[in-house]
Chains A and B, each alone.
Chain A
């Protein structure tokens, strides 16, 4: 049910989180709002800098592209006007990845949901002002037009198209990266499933929902994690 998450693993960074799914493990660290270089300074909003570090090797154009995508998503989520002329620095370290050989386009898109989710959790941990939640999900469409959410490595290796989508808690589409061979009808079905899964991840769980729809897709994993984190943060009050 949901990926494996640990809160605040690092002492040095303002906010940090690790997220481990069946494909990737990402460690995210956030520093901010901090001092910004003159050349990157924006007069009315905070500048956002995302650094993606692969597990092996130094980053190249692939990492620059991923950084630009994640930056654009985070800009829609952060309340940047609350900290003008500062910098919010997000560093994402990939620690493990899939071992099977994947096509480059599939590999690039499959890492995006883990990166976005990890960055969001680190921002929450760092106490940065956010205007909405963002949940990202990965879907793969097989040759027989079967759509699977959070596909396993084998499904990714043989898929016809791969899609990474991110939604806010209200169902607004913040990110859509789709690659492969597909048509509009397939995409619409993919978008529907993704929206349901993302909205369900932060939805208020009602008793009937839990009983009726016990599938992994409908589980509010993000809400549970954040609620647990909030409870732990005030636990000291109960002990004193």
Chain B
């Protein structure tokens, strides 16, 4: 309570401020005070290994081919998938049909994610600005992971056509299957609320949206020389995604500085940082795990930058935590 003014004589104000004031004035020592207790706790009440519980809603956008809303704590991200047709004849340098190409999706750029942070989702991201370095960097990481994880199979995105045998063609002239067009998926990711750890939530939103994506039945009409699509939902097909890659991000809070050696400083690895913690942590680690099965060893990506606290030992711990988190997401998203 504030100083007691009831009896008229002003007493010297006490040095105790409410928690929020401490957090605003000296965020670093505030977090440090929480973490250095017997049972390390974070300012948001979680323990360092606790992730926030995720919730997913799919199919809420009716005009897109697929959509999902993911909430992780106070971070909320909406993802919509729009499919458009790209004619093979419009591609200046199309891939050859007889060559089985796993990299076709990457080469033709059939998956186009774009993350939009300038929505007013946090005071740091005012609406209407061009994408800054952070937004471009996140978009690129998502694109890179989408292509490298082979989540989407090229056959789902190809519209094939079997050329009929010509009437006067000999027995050697066989029916040839060519790809007449491709589906290009524009994956728009909007952040409506940001409270740290954008990448994990955005990636989960992309997975959930792709899982719910439905592509109409499309075929090449030889007479009209165009692609036709069927409006019937019964004929539409869902995407066959392979694997379930899940991202888990960690941040490191450390009191080390050039004036204080790492061995004498205290450091904690915090799972799923919120925006308060993100501002105080310079070191970040993202672990992307996929399904472990034949041919797939489990880890798809490790990204660590910003400091030197996480070494081999801490990495092992983080990978274990990422495995638990993978199971948690699998329960929510299914698939895998």
B106 within 8 A of A: yes
Sample of 14 further A-B pairs with CB below 8 A, known A65-B137, A174-B307, A179-B148:
A65-B144, A72-B305, A73-B306, A75-B282, A131-B258, A173-B304, A174-B308, A177-B304, A178-B302, A179-B144, A180-B300, A184-B319, A187-B299, A188-B312
| Cβ–Cβ contact B311 & A68, under 8 A | no
In the complex, chain B residues whose CB is within 8 Å of the CB of A173 = 304, 308, 310-312
In the complex, chain B residues whose CB is within 8 Å of the CB of A75 = 282, 306
CB distance from A109 to the nearest CB of B (A): 9
B297 within 8 A of A: yes
CB distance from A92 to the nearest CB of B (A): 15
| Cβ–Cβ contact A172 & B308, under 8 A | yes
B133 within 8 A of A: yes
From known contacts A79-B258, A103-B106, A108-B144, infer whether A183 and B298 are also in contact, taking CB-CB under 8 Å: yes
| Cβ–Cβ contact B301 & A179, under 8 A | yes
Complex CA–CA separation, A180 to B302 (angstroms): 9
Chain B interface category by residue count: 35 or more
From known contacts A105-B144, A176-B304, A188-B312, infer whether A182 and B137 are also in contact, taking CB-CB under 8 Å: no
Complex CA–CA separation, A101 to B286 (angstroms): 27
| Cβ–Cβ contact B306 & A105, under 8 A | no
B262 within 8 A of A: yes
> Number of A residues contacting the other chain (C-beta, 8 Å)?
37
Interchain CB contact (< 8 A) of B137 among A61, A175, A181, A184: A61
In the complex, chain B residues whose CB is within 8 Å of the CB of A175 = 304-305
Interface-centre pick from A60, A168, A184 (highest chain B CB count, 10 A): A184
What mask results when residues 157 to 198 of chain A are scored 1 for a CB within 8 Å of chain B, else 0?
Answer: 000000000001000111111111111101110010000000
B276 within 8 A of A: no
**Total residue contacts A-B, CB cutoff 8 A:** 107
Complex CA–CA separation, A18 to B194 (angstroms): 41
Complex CA–CA separation, A103 to B140 (angstroms): 14
Interchain CB contact (< 8 A) of A64 among B137, B300, B311, B315: B137
From known contacts A103-B103, A181-B300, infer whether A76 and B137 are also in contact, taking CB-CB under 8 Å: no
| Cβ–Cβ contact B299 & A184, under 8 A | yes
In the complex, chain B residues whose CB is within 8 Å of the CB of A68 = 133-134, 137
Complex CA–CA separation, A181 to B102 (angstroms): 15
List A residues at the B interface (Cβ < 8 Å). Answer: 60-62, 64-65, 67-69, 72-73, 75-76, 79, 81, 103-105, 108, 131, 168, 172-184, 186-188, 191
12 A-B pairs with CB atoms under 8 Å apart are: A65-B137, A67-B133, A69-B305, A72-B284, A72-B305, A103-B147, A174-B305, A175-B305, A176-B303, A176-B304, A177-B305, A179-B148
| Cβ–Cβ contact A182 & B304, under 8 A | no
B296 within 8 A of A: yes
Interface-centre pick from B103, B305, B319 (highest chain A CB count, 10 A): B305
From known contacts A69-B305, A172-B262, infer whether A64 and B136 are also in contact, taking CB-CB under 8 Å: yes
CB distance from B291 to the nearest CB of A (A): 11
Complex CA–CA separation, A33 to B249 (angstroms): 33
In the complex, chain A residues whose CB is within 8 Å of the CB of B258 = 79, 81, 131
The 10 closest A-B pairs by CB, nearest first: A172-B308, A72-B305, A61-B140, A183-B297, A64-B136, A61-B136, A176-B304, A178-B302, A105-B148, A72-B306
| Cβ–Cβ contact A178 & B319, under 8 A | no
In the complex, chain A residues whose CB is within 8 Å of the CB of B308 = 76, 168, 172-174
In the complex, chain A residues whose CB is within 8 Å of the CB of B310 = 173
In the complex, chain B residues whose CB is within 8 Å of the CB of A104 = 106, 144, 147-148
CB distance from B262 to the nearest CB of A (A): 7
In the complex, chain B residues whose CB is within 8 Å of the CB of A105 = 144, 147-148
Complex CA–CA separation, A64 to B299 (angstroms): 25
What mask results when residues 271 to 315 of chain B are scored 1 for a CB within 8 Å of chain A, else 0?
Answer: 000000000001010000000000111111111111110111001
| Cβ–Cβ contact A72 & B140, under 8 A | no
| Cβ–Cβ contact B299 & A183, under 8 A | yes
CB distance from A232 to the nearest CB of B (A): 29
In the complex, chain A residues whose CB is within 8 Å of the CB of B316 = 184, 188
Complex CA–CA separation, A64 to B139 (angstroms): 10
In the complex, chain B residues whose CB is within 8 Å of the CB of A103 = 103, 106, 147-148
CB distance from B113 to the nearest CB of A (A): 10
B141 within 8 A of A: yes
CB distance from A235 to the nearest CB of B (A): 32
B7 within 8 A of A: no
CB distance from A174 to the nearest CB of B (A): 5
CB distance from A40 to the nearest CB of B (A): 11
Complex CA–CA separation, A180 to B312 (angstroms): 19
Of all chain B residues, the one with the shortest Cβ separation from A81 is B258
| Cβ–Cβ contact B297 & A72, under 8 A | no
Complex CA–CA separation, A184 to B298 (angstroms): 9
Complex CA–CA separation, A79 to B310 (angstroms): 20
Of all chain B residues, the one with the shortest Cβ separation from A166 is B305
Of all chain B residues, the one with the shortest Cβ separation from A73 is B305
| Cβ–Cβ contact B302 & A187, under 8 A | yes
B257 within 8 A of A: yes
